[in-house]
Amino acid sequence: MAFDQTTRNRLQRFVNDARRVLEEEFTRQLQNDYGMDPNAGTVAELTSLRHINDAQRETARILRDTLAHYRGQVSVAGDQFPTTDHRSLVTELQRIVREQAFTVLNRLAALRMAEARGLLMESVGNGFQAKGFQLYARLAGTGLGETGDAYRTYLFSVFDELSQDLPGLFDRYSPQGRLFPREAALLQVLNQINDADIAPLWSEDETIGWIYQYFNSKEERRAMRDASQAPRNSRELAVRNQFFTPRYVVEFLVDNTLGRLWFNATGGATGLRERCQYLLVKPDEVARDQWPVAGGEKVDRDHRAVIREKSGEVHPLTASLTTDHRSPTTALRDPRTLKLLDPACGSMHFGLYAFDLFAEIYREAWAWEQQHGPGSLDVSTQPQAALKPLSQTYDDEAAFLRDVPRLIIEHNIYGVDIDPRAAQIASLALWLRAQRAWHEAGVKAKDRPLIGRGHVVAAIAPPAERELRQQFAANLDQRDGELFEKTLQLLKGLPELGVLLQAERELPHLIRQVYVGTGTGLFAEQELDNWQQAEARLREALTEFAQAAKSTYQGRLFAQDALQGLRLIDLCREVFDVVVMNPPFGALAANTKDQLVKAYPRSKNDLLAIMVERGLELLRAGGRLGAITSRTCFFLSSFQKWREDVVLGIAKPEVMADLGFGVMDDAMVEAAAYVLQKSE
């Protein structure tokens, strides 16, 4: 189903209506039950709440811990309000309401999408009459109370089951998921989500991305721009640049980056040539009907296989070509070593399409290894991970193909976003895509491999609670404690910077300071070992700190945020083959402008230019970057240094499409989509 303007308008009305219902509901809950007023900016003492039961009292305590943690994030990120300011209290209470509403909406939408894909028995569709709930209610009897109470308990059980794979979205004990609407509000949202006008949308992969975009309205973005030319904090930076990338642009960029990489590696002997409709192949490149094949072989009419003339045997095209018959520009890589990054991933639209291409790449890699034997796939780009050949890892092709969706998520697709809710959505989108792949292949749920957490990272502020930092550091070795404190200082500004924070450049200096002594030079092997060992100790200590019985809920949030920062550092130390993005553009956020100007002097006049330069930094030599941005960067004089030193200095343009106005929904910008290859 095409997401034309009429379709998007219907979905936008649904999101706006559902958000209004949920935010009004959670505002009332905070005011009436928990002594927290988002409108007045007041918080009552916990001891004064004598009208609530023990479970509600525990929620009230957790909400206060969450508020304290959020206010600490504001302080360390340097947002416009000091933590003692009344306006800050209003802002953070409203953030609690907004995030609780967003999480509930995403959970219900995720269940509805899972139902549409045959992954889940009907649970949200038809509301209280859902088949899954009706079965559950018959088994449970009257022990769960009235219908509304029983339905809530049923949904909680579904959330708990799914939290094993998607804790970021379905963990009911997360700070964003503590509240749940009462029956009247829940029924309103269920009626909206089951409206016939949007029923066809739940089977579409793009739907969750549009929900993410429409949760923040055009009016909010307009008000932010009217109030300040430059974003004033991380949320404004995220919301003001929240523009959905059209499918054809996604395909154009991924086809000419990831698709081109594999096309070159196979010398054109790949099924991606037909699959990638926007892959631009030059006239002087080898055409399908001119592919060199072994003697006694011919290419079939559809160019998908090679037929041996004597025996009549048919073999997949990639399996029949040997290295003598290919003219690759790069070696044929083991697909587990290929890495694609979207540094402003939003709802992971680029990753969803890349998933399809990676699936084809894995199939062709298996055929290649079967033809040429174990060890014929190159793993040299990932020396730190000893990868056994595919044929020695799996018993047969069926076992291999069953594991491919997991391999793609755990090895190939990386994403970062400064909006934690975007990271939540991106993880969900990839998980749904993997489940759909298994469903289409007829793999039963019990036979599907467990998916790890993947590589989607939220760039959030490091924990700022001084007492908790001191408490945690007291249990560390002195040098590890010093490294932890310096690492947190390094991560300051992360919510506005994301991958623009060049953490990997600062690590050698920190390691030398703490473990090796002062000095200069590159990240030596000894320093790398010191960091990896220290990081492993910090991860273990943070996990234990979060799980310790004496740890408060705020302590758990502290540890989780610190672990997320370590994940971002690890991601920035990766070397990627492909970077694709729809990056933020325009003026730099006031809090980080000086830092960015110093770090990126060639690109300092616009965020889009900085994002492109940073993307090229993260690529290996010969890697490709695909981006959709404003087209003005290619002719305005203010971008001259960027064009000369970055676009032409460390890369070369390969493909460009001048798209004009109206490409990214309501973004008033003339757009261009282009691919740059990093110089060898």
Which one of 52-66, 178-192, 383-397, 584-598 scores highest in mean pLDDT? 178-192
Note the helical H segments in 228-291: 234-240, 247-254, 260-265, 272-275
- When pLDDT is averaged across residues 331-349 and rounded to a whole number, the result is 91
SS (H, E, C) 301-337: CCCCEEEECCCCCEEEHHHHCCHHHCCCCCCCECHHH
pLDDT at 397 over 70: yes
CA distance to 198, 270, 278, 400, per residue, from 258 (Å): 33, 13, 12, 22
Choose the weakest-confidence range: 61-65, 98-102, 541-545, 619-623.
Answer: 541-545
> What is the pLDDT at residue 16?
93
Residue pLDDT, tens place only, 278-306:
999 887 775 444 343 334 444 443 444 44
> What is the pLDDT at residue 584?
86
Q: Give the count of beta carbons closer than 10 Å to the beta carbon of residue 220.
A: 15
- When pLDDT is averaged across residues 584-612 and rounded to a whole number, the result is 89
Q: Based on the number of CB atoms within 10 Å of its own CB, is 365 exposed (0-12), middle (13-18) or buried (19 or more)?
A: buried
Contact 74, 88 (CB under 8 A): yes
Q: Which two tokens stand for residue 510?
A: 């920190």
> What is the pLDDT at residue 289?
41
> What is the pLDDT at residue 654?
94
The values of phi and psi at residue 411, to 5°, are: -120, -30
Contact 619, 579 (CB under 8 A): yes
Name the residue with higher pLDDT: 446 or 296: 446
- When pLDDT is averaged across residues 443-462 and rounded to a whole number, the result is 85
Listed residue (406, 388, 367, 330) closest to 577, CA to CA: 330
- When pLDDT is averaged across residues 437-450 and rounded to a whole number, the result is 88
Choose the weakest-confidence range: 81-85, 171-175, 342-346.
Answer: 81-85
pLDDT at 518 over 50: no
What pairs with residue 43 in β-bridges? 36
The values of phi and psi at residue 3, to 5°, are: -90, 70
- When pLDDT is averaged across residues 353-375 and rounded to a whole number, the result is 93
The values of phi and psi at residue 253, to 5°, are: -75, -40
Sign of the torsion angle spanned by Cα atoms 97, 99, 105, 107:
negative
The rounded mean pLDDT for the chain is 83
Which one of 14-28, 263-277, 306-320, 414-428 scores highest in mean pLDDT? 14-28
- When pLDDT is averaged across residues 568-587 and rounded to a whole number, the result is 91
The values of phi and psi at residue 543, to 5°, are: -65, -45
> What is the pLDDT at residue 321?
33
> What is the pLDDT at residue 400?
95
pLDDT at 233 over 80: no
Which one of 170-179, 274-283, 307-316, 409-418 scores highest in mean pLDDT? 409-418
Q: Percentage of residues in the chain with pLDDT exceeding 90?
A: 43
Name the residue with higher pLDDT: 266 or 213: 266
DSSP result, 77-118: HT-SS-TT-HHHHHHHHHHHHHHHHHHHHHHHHHHHHHHHTT
Listed residue (34, 73, 46) closest to 468, CA to CA: 73
pLDDT at 570 over 80: yes
pLDDT-derived band at 164, boundaries 50, 70, 90: confident
Listed residue (487, 433, 450, 375) closest to 203, CA to CA: 433
Q: How far apart are CA 352 and CA 542, in angstroms?
A: 32
Name the residue with higher pLDDT: 385 or 104: 104
> What is the pLDDT at residue 467?
82
DSSP result, 619-665: EEEEEEEEEEEEGGGGT-GGGHHHIIIIITTTEEEEEEEEEESSSST
Residue pLDDT, tens place only, 172-209:
888 888 899 999 999 999 999 999 989 999 988 888 88
Q: Which two tokens stand for residue 221?
A: 């973005």
pLDDT at 481 over 50: yes
- When pLDDT is averaged across residues 539-563 and rounded to a whole number, the result is 80
Listed residue (475, 481, 490) closest to 76, CA to CA: 490
> What contacts 3, CB < 8 A, 6 or more positions away?
204, 206, 210, 247
> What is the pLDDT at residue 451?
83
Amino acid 469 reads R
Residue pLDDT, tens place only, 108-141:
999 999 999 888 899 999 999 999 999 998 887 7
Name the residue with higher pLDDT: 445 or 57: 57
> What is the pLDDT at residue 239?
59
pLDDT-derived band at 254, boundaries 50, 70, 90: very high
Q: How far apart are CA 231 and CA 590, in angstroms?
A: 7
Listed residue (277, 377, 398) closest to 318, CA to CA: 377
Choose the weakest-confidence range: 10-14, 164-168, 220-224, 555-559.
Answer: 220-224
Q: Give the count of beta carbons closer than 10 Å to the beta carbon of residue 194.
A: 17
> What is the pLDDT at residue 8?
81
The values of phi and psi at residue 455, to 5°, are: -130, 40
DSSP result, 117-153: TTSS-SSSTTGGG-HHHHHHHHHHTTTT-SHHHHHHH
pLDDT at 519 over 80: no
Listed residue (166, 167, 176) closest to 67, CA to CA: 176
3-state helix, strand, coil in the chain (%, to 5): 55, 10, 35
Contact 73, 420 (CB under 8 A): no
Amino acid 524 reads A
- When pLDDT is averaged across residues 641-657 and rounded to a whole number, the result is 95
The CA-based angle 28-208-618, given to 5 degrees, is 115
> What is the pLDDT at residue 676?
97
pLDDT-derived band at 422, boundaries 50, 70, 90: confident
Amino acid 401 reads L
Distance of CA 58 to the CA centre of its chain: 32
Sign of the torsion angle spanned by Cα atoms 580, 584, 585, 587:
negative
The values of phi and psi at residue 628, to 5°, are: -115, 125
Name the residue with higher pLDDT: 599 or 85: 599
Give 514's DSSP letter: I
- When pLDDT is averaged across residues 74-78 and rounded to a whole number, the result is 45
pLDDT-derived band at 628, boundaries 50, 70, 90: very high
Name the residue with higher pLDDT: 449 or 615: 615
Helix (H, G, I), strand (E, B) or coil at 588: coil
Q: Based on the number of CB atoms within 10 Å of its own CB, is 237 exposed (0-12), middle (13-18) or buried (19 or more)?
A: buried
Domains and CATH numbers, the chain: 5-215 (no CATH), 466-553 (no CATH), 582-678 (3.40.50.150)
> What is the pLDDT at residue 319?
34
Choose the weakest-confidence range: 54-58, 242-246, 404-408, 449-453.
Answer: 242-246
